[in-house]
Amino acid sequence: MPLIPSLHRIISYSTFLLCFIATPLLAQEPVSSNQPETPVEPQSFAQCVVGLQQRALKSGISANTVEQVLGQARHLAKILEYDRNQPEFVQTFPGYYSARVNDWRINKGREMLAKHRDFLAKLSKEYGVPGHYLVAFWGLETNFGNYKGKMPIIDSLATLACDERRSQYFSAELLQALRLLEREQLNVIDMVGSWAGAMGHTQFMPTAYLTYARDGDGDGKMDLWSSELDALASAANFLKALGWQAGYRWGREVQLPANFDYQLAGKSNPQPLSFWREQGLSTTANKQLENSDLAAALLIPAGHEGPAFLAYQNFKVILRWNNSEYYGIAVGQLADQIAGGAGLSKPLPDLPKYTLAQMQQFQQKLNELGFDVGKPDGILGPATRTGVRAFQSAKNLIADGYPSKETVELALQM
């Protein structure tokens, strides 16, 4: 989810788990947990709804909406099943990227870019966000509106609000959904989306919808379900609010020199382009980087055998939409190719496939060996990458921070 609390959507456990690995393609799923949970019984749900109704009335929502909409909310056991669902495997960057930045999405994106060229140019002038980026977000979120979700929003949010694990967040989003219904004079039957409450072409959570939605087609409404222009204008407004820097790109693929020091990689270590130039990095066309003070972080999402990217400030903005490096790279690369750019210059490697249990075992072993990766949770995040790099460096392996088969087997043998 965006790093501004409760503005857009929550990331599923699988998304958070793969924060530097993967993110769901369409549905905005909330953070899950390894802790066993007992689903809310119907009676408990009914009591919870009464409490939510009282809260809604106090917050200014009309009695009619409270009674006729919230009072009719249904408990959907399937929502909690989705919420508790956890991926079995840690997804690799090649698997994630190949499923998202593909020929169909690139060609469809170019079609949408041409369809809305004039409108997107207007948005770019007003908000500073180039059209091909807006189209790329749209493509990754809902396949350009081909799948916006089918779950009833009020029922989904009420079910999650009455689930103790994240009741506070979803209770607030439920009230925002009711405000949205009243403001836009929506029919509750038409309010459908992801099981976690994200809606429309851009999959906005209710708070983001209320805050950032814009009337792009000029009909006096802000309809993110039916109006492509409203959705694109809203996405542009949202990205500007998140800090998008006009005139700058997201980043780019680069080539690394032989014997590169991979300890320099990671989004927490931004350096001026002039620094990376001194380190021997070059463009994919084998040209020197600019001698500039523009800050960029080096990302190595698939280890030293895979592609490398320099990510600029706008990449951080993308991560505020969805805090996954894989997602951020996919948005940037998809946008570039929609605009006519080339694909990756370096083939995606065939990487080992780990189960969550195997990754947790590896993390536990690194901790035992004195290479702190934090809690063994299966998440290949910054702490784990740092620990892996330290272990690889100590064992004279290429210290790219990626848990290669050689790295994992060596650790587990010790």
Burial class (CB in 10 A: 0-12, 13-18, 19+), 407: buried
Measured in Å, how far apart are the chain's first and last C-alpha atoms? 38
Q: Which residue has the higher pLDDT, 16 or 280?
A: 280
pLDDT mean over 221-232: 97
The rounded distance, in Å, linking the Cα atoms of 78 and 64 is 28
> Residue 187: is its pLDDT beyond 60?
yes
222, 230 in Cβ contact below 8 A?
yes
Question: Which residue, 110, 64, 32, is CA-closest to 341?
Answer: 110
> Residue 85: is its pLDDT beyond 90?
no
pLDDT mean over 134-153: 97
> Residue 37: is its pLDDT beyond 80?
no
pLDDT, mean over the chain: 90
What does pTM read for this prediction? 0.88
> Residue 173: is its pLDDT beyond 60?
yes
Tokens 């072993």 correspond to: 365
pLDDT mean over 378-384: 86
Predicted pLDDT at 400 = 94
pLDDT in tens, 285-303: 999 999 999 999 999 999 9
Domains belonging to the chain, first-starting first, are 13-242 (1.10.8.350), 251-338 (no CATH), 354-413 (1.10.101)
> Residue 136: is its pLDDT beyond 50?
yes
Strand 308-311: give its sheet, edge to edge. 271-272, 295-299, 308-311, 251-255, 282-283
Instruction: Please give the distance of CA 176 from its chain centroid, rounded to a whole number.
Output: 22
> Residue 310: is its pLDDT beyond 60?
yes
Predicted pLDDT at 41 = 52
> Residue 21: is its pLDDT beyond 90?
no
> Residue 349: is its pLDDT beyond 80?
yes
> Residue 36: is its pLDDT beyond 80?
no
> Residue 24: is its pLDDT beyond 90?
no
Please report, rounded to a whole number, the percentage of residues in the chain having pLDDT higher than 90: 82
> Residue 213: is its pLDDT beyond 50?
yes
Burial class (CB in 10 A: 0-12, 13-18, 19+), 41: exposed
Confidence of residue 210 (pLDDT cuts 50, 70, 90): very high
Predicted pLDDT at 86 = 73
Confidence of residue 31 (pLDDT cuts 50, 70, 90): very low
Burial class (CB in 10 A: 0-12, 13-18, 19+), 279: middle
